[in-house]
């Protein structure tokens, strides 16, 4: 199979992992909160790209951008503070927008760091003349270029073979060397009006191919369904594009389940394009975007690893002198054990229990642990998940005050329920309490205000219209979380 050197110019696009660079793909489910932290990467990312499985455009952020700013990959404007709030020590934090944290929506992402075969940086254009960018430190095979300004230019990701043919991720149109005109031993040359416009800021991500964690190649389409391509490595991210005007590059992460693939456009997941990924095999459908008969395609395969566990819920509930810990995962890959960690100061934690994990699962998994020896006062808990290969990630910290007389959910009966169930809780003060029923993905399916008196209270929950599933009931006063219990609707 012919090996080609491809340059990718990003004016608002794409995903990747590169040679000698730590890279992870993963997924999460939006909860609609003002911010949501995605953790467990094991490194501080320098680039993150997020694409919803719903009809919302992809978003990109790099460490060279102003802190708190990112941009739509279909936008022609400058970076904004709308989508991603920060790049963190072990992950990143998204904001409550349709593109990054809509309640109940599944998002796929790629994250990687600067080092080895990848370099992230920025530069300012110089009066529309060619400009040599020599801060890369190696001769790249691929560069993504992201404009950070509003102008008439048609933003999109441009892929260029040997600095000649460029392909725009936003609209699928090719252009010939108008963004990067040459590759240098330590960087590249940004070309004229499009790649080095006067006073404008550009962000770049440069790649160095090694064939083991980052590989570029080609194939010819044959319009055969379930066609298997064999990559030179085991990809966690695979992208391909048809070298014809009007066809958007298509991509898929190995964290994606089912027959789904994506472009950066505000479109829901596609079928019949990149159907699956397993080992070094990538299966294609018959869609013209990925497998037209006799069509010429270029693909880029990125090695790396998959974020092993998507934790969608972790709560601590007081039960007399005990603490009940409940947590739920939406998916797991290669997970071996959960360790329950406890602390009395929120800083120094000790392991108090080990729970066997699901291993590999693409469905909801629920876990429960009762701490029967919790110390008095405020107690802090977090989870440490360890994979079979030794990789690990930690959850957020939750806390509970065992000396508090704050309201506590004491019972749901009947549980499981068929029609309705009744909630019982103790309240130290009267007031209007917010009651929420949430599904396993964190989406609120029922909400009401309840007038509670001091002491024992009970209310009937209208669960007859809920689908058969597991739910969580929570109560709060003045928007402060107090307590939660799990129940099953049959």
pLDDT of residue 9: 32
Give the pLDDT confidence of 401-412 residue by residue, as tens digits: 777 655 455 567
pLDDT band at 5 (very low <50, low <70, confident <90, very high): very low
3-state SS assignment for residue 288: helix
Better-predicted residue by pLDDT, 98 or 419 = 98
Residue 14 pLDDT greater than 60, yes or no: no
Residue 8 pLDDT greater than 70, yes or no: no
Residue 385 pLDDT greater than 70, yes or no: yes
- Lowest mean pLDDT across 1-15, 128-142, 473-487: 1-15
Q: Choose from 191-205, 245-259, 421-435, 439-453 the range with maximum mean pLDDT.
A: 245-259
pLDDT of residue 208: 83
How far is residue 435's CA from residue 412's CA, in Å, rounded to a whole number? 13
pLDDT of residue 16: 34
Contacts 24+ apart (CB under 8 A), 77-85: 77/149, 77/150, 77/155, 78/148, 78/149, 78/150, 79/148, 83/50, 83/59, 84/48, 84/50, 84/59, 85/35
Better-predicted residue by pLDDT, 92 or 117 = 92
Better-predicted residue by pLDDT, 482 or 91 = 91
Around Cβ 23, how many Cβ atoms within 10 Å?
A: 26
pLDDT band at 180 (very low <50, low <70, confident <90, very high): confident
pLDDT band at 176 (very low <50, low <70, confident <90, very high): low
pTM assigned to the model: 0.69
CATH tag, 309-401: 2.60.40.10
pLDDT of residue 311: 77
How far is residue 441's CA from residue 374's CA, in Å, rounded to a whole number? 28
Q: Which residues contact 38 (CB under 8 A, 6 or more apart)?
A: 26, 28, 91, 92, 93, 94, 109
Residue 199 pLDDT greater than 50, yes or no: yes
Better-predicted residue by pLDDT, 47 or 210 = 47
Give the pLDDT confidence of 117-174 residue by residue, as tens digits: 889 999 998 866 789 999 998 888 888 888 888 764 544 556 555 554 677 777 777 7
- Lowest mean pLDDT across 131-145, 328-342, 476-490: 476-490
Give the pLDDT confidence of 42-56 residue by residue, as tens digits: 788 999 999 999 999
Residue 306 pLDDT greater than 70, yes or no: yes
Better-predicted residue by pLDDT, 73 or 167 = 73
Better-predicted residue by pLDDT, 362 or 276 = 276
Better-predicted residue by pLDDT, 361 or 108 = 108
Residue 4 pLDDT greater than 80, yes or no: no
pLDDT of residue 371: 93
Q: Do domains 309-401 and 408-489 have the same CATH topology?
A: yes
pLDDT of residue 408: 58
Helices (H), 159-303: 192-195, 288-291
Residue 59 pLDDT greater than 90, yes or no: yes
Structure tokens at 361: 């699962």
* CATH class of this structure's domain 408-489: mainly beta
Question: Interior CA angle at 384 toward 372 and 47, to 5°?
Answer: 150
How far is residue 392's CA from residue 364's CA, in Å, rounded to a whole number? 20
Residue 216 pLDDT greater than 90, yes or no: no
pLDDT of residue 159: 58
How far is residue 381's CA from residue 148's CA, in Å, rounded to a whole number? 42
pLDDT of residue 482: 61
Proportion of the chain above pLDDT 90, given as a percent:
33
Mean of the per-residue pLDDT values of the chain = 82
Please state the rounded mean pLDDT for residues 245-256.
90
Proportion of the chain above pLDDT 70, given as a percent:
86
Residue 40 pLDDT greater than 70, yes or no: yes
pLDDT of residue 165: 66
Contacts 24+ apart (CB under 8 A), 271-274: 272/225, 274/238, 274/240, 274/250
How far is residue 135's CA from residue 376's CA, in Å, rounded to a whole number? 57
pLDDT of residue 479: 54
**Domain residue spans of the chain:** 1-306, 309-401, 408-489
């Amino acid at each position: 199979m012919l090996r080609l050197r491809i340059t990718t110019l990003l004016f608002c696009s794409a995903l990747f992992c590169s040679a000698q660079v730590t890279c992870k793909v993963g997924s999460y489910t939006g909860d609609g909160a003002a911010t949501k932290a995605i953790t467990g990467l094991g490194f501080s990312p320098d680039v993150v790209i997020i694409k919803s499985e719903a009809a919302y455009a992809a978003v990109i952020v790099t460490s060279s951008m102003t802190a708190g700013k990112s941009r739509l990959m279909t936008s022609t404007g400058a970076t904004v503070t709308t989508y991603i709030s920060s790049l963190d020590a072990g992950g990143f934090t998204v904001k409550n927008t349709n593109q990054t944290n809509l309640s109940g929506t599944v998002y796929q992402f790629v994250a990687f760091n600067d080092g080895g075969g990848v370099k992230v940086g920025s530069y300012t254009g110089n009066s529309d003349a060619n400009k040599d960018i020599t801060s890369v430190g190696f001769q790249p095979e691929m560069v993504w270029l992201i404009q950070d300004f509003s102008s008439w230019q048609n933003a999109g990701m441009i892929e260029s073979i040997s600095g000649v043919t460029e392909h725009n991720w936003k609209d699928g149109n090719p252009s010939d060397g108008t963004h990067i005109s040459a590759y240098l031993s330590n960087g590249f040359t940004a070309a004229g009006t499009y790649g080095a416009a006067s006073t404008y800021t550009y962000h770049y991500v440069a790649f160095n191919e090694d064939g083991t964690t980052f590989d570029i190649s080609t194939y010819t389409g044959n319009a055969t369904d379930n066609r298997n391509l064999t990559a030179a490595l085991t990809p966690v991210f695979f992208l391909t594009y048809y070298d014809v005007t009007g066809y958007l590059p298509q991509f898929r992460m190995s964290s994606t389940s089912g027959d789904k693939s994506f472009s950066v456009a505000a479109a829901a997941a596609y079928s019949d394009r990149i159907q699956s990924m397993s080992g070094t095999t990538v299966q294609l459908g018959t869609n013209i975007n990925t497998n037209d008969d006799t069509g010429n395609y270029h693909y880029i395969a990125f090695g790396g690893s998959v974020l092993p566990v998507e934790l969608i819920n972790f709560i601590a509930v007081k039960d007399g002198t005990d603490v009940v810990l409940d947590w739920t995962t939406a998916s797991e890959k290669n997970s071996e054990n959960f360790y329950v960690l406890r602390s009395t100061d929120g800083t120094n934690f000790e392991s108090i229990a080990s729970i066997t994990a699901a291993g590999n699962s693409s469905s909801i998994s629920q876990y429960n642990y009762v701490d029967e020896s919790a110390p008095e006062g405020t107690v802090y808990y977090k989870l440490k998940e360890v994979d079979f290969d030794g990789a690990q990630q930690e959850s957020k910290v939750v806390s509970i005050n065992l000396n508090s007389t704050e309201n506590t959910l004491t019972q749901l009966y009947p549980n499981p329920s068929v029609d309705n169930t009744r909630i019982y809780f103790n309240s130290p003060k009267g007031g209007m309490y917010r009651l929420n029923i949430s599904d396993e993905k964190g989406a609120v399916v029922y909400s009401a205000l309840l007038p509670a008196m001091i002491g024992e209270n009970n209310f009937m929950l209208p669960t007859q219209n809920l689908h058969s599933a597991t739910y969580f009931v929570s109560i709060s006063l003045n928007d402060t979380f107090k307590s939660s219990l799990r129940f099953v609707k049959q």
